Amino acid sequence: MEQVEIKFEREELTGVIPVGTYLFDAARRMGVEVECERLGESDLCAVRVTGGRELLSELTKAEIGQLSDERRSSGERLACQAKIERAGEITIMTTKKEEPAKPDYDAKKEAYRKDFQDLPLEKKIASLVDLEAIALGETFSFIINSPSMIVGKLMDVLAEFGLRMEDEAKKQTRPAEHQPDEQPSVKEETETGEAIPSVTEENETTDETKVPPPSV
């Protein structure tokens, strides 16, 4: 099987991927996070191919519709649409993700401590009782909702079934340009009009007319 060496510049990761793999799947195998909510219907999974563009499949209709001429000229491709078709070396630059702002827990903790300190004694006791009730309620809820071993096994089976369904759905949502051609007919006719039997029929005929070897 032909392989391609692929490098993700931002993550500083390099690996070997089989030819025929989509860039989205290659990224997942190497632990690179690439968003893709709906295949080919958004540009969330857009990546810039800085090396080895000629090793990828041609632009699909989805890519032409989602990416502007300028972006396509700079080497951007949709990871869920671009498939590796030839061996060689490919270099990818992923889009930098903006990290969400983290809440300032220290400031909230200090504000809560100050508010609690200013409460009168009876309200402090009431607040502590409420907090204890909430903690006990969450504890009981966790115990009641904890899955048993049987349920855990069932979930494993459902997860495996879900993965198979996901693979089938992924195949159906792949670009139309990459769908396999129809299988050839079982029989073909020669120029004289005679039907050429399929491989299966030829094997069955050979088996029926096979002469056992002479005994020594």
Tell me the mean pLDDT in the region 80-90: 95
Q: Name the residue with higher pLDDT: 151 or 22.
A: 22
Return the closest-CA partner of residue 18 out of 8, 4, 37.
4
**Please, what is the average pLDDT of the chain?**
75
Tell me the mean pLDDT in the region 69-86: 94
Q: Name the residue with higher pLDDT: 89 or 120.
A: 89
Domain boundaries, the chain: 3-93, 100-173
- Tell me which residue has tokens 């340009």: 177
Does domain 3-93 sit in CATH 3.10.20.30? yes
Q: Rounded to whole angstroms, how far apart are CA atoms 55 and 47? A: 15
Q: Name the residue with higher pLDDT: 20 or 107.
A: 20
Of 51-55, 105-109, 195-199, the one with minimum mean pLDDT is 195-199
Tell me the mean pLDDT in the region 186-193: 50
Tell me the mean pLDDT in the region 185-202: 50
Tell me the mean pLDDT in the region 164-185: 67
Q: What is the pLDDT of residue 205?
A: 47
Q: Which residues contact 88 (CB under 8 A, 6 or more apart)?
A: 4, 5, 52, 54, 55
Q: What is the pLDDT of residue 78?
A: 94
pLDDT surpasses 60 at 15: yes
Q: Do the Cβ atoms of 119 and 50 come closer than 8 Å?
A: no
Tell me the mean pLDDT in the region 101-119: 69
Q: Do the Cβ atoms of 18 and 1 come closer than 8 Å?
A: yes
Q: Name the residue with higher pLDDT: 15 or 139.
A: 15
Tell me the mean pLDDT in the region 166-181: 70
Q: In the chain, how many H helices and how many E strands?
A: 7, 7
Tell me the mean pLDDT in the region 50-54: 95
pTM for the structure as a whole: 0.50
189 pairs with which residues across the strands? 195
pLDDT confidence bin for 202, thresholds 50/70/90: very low
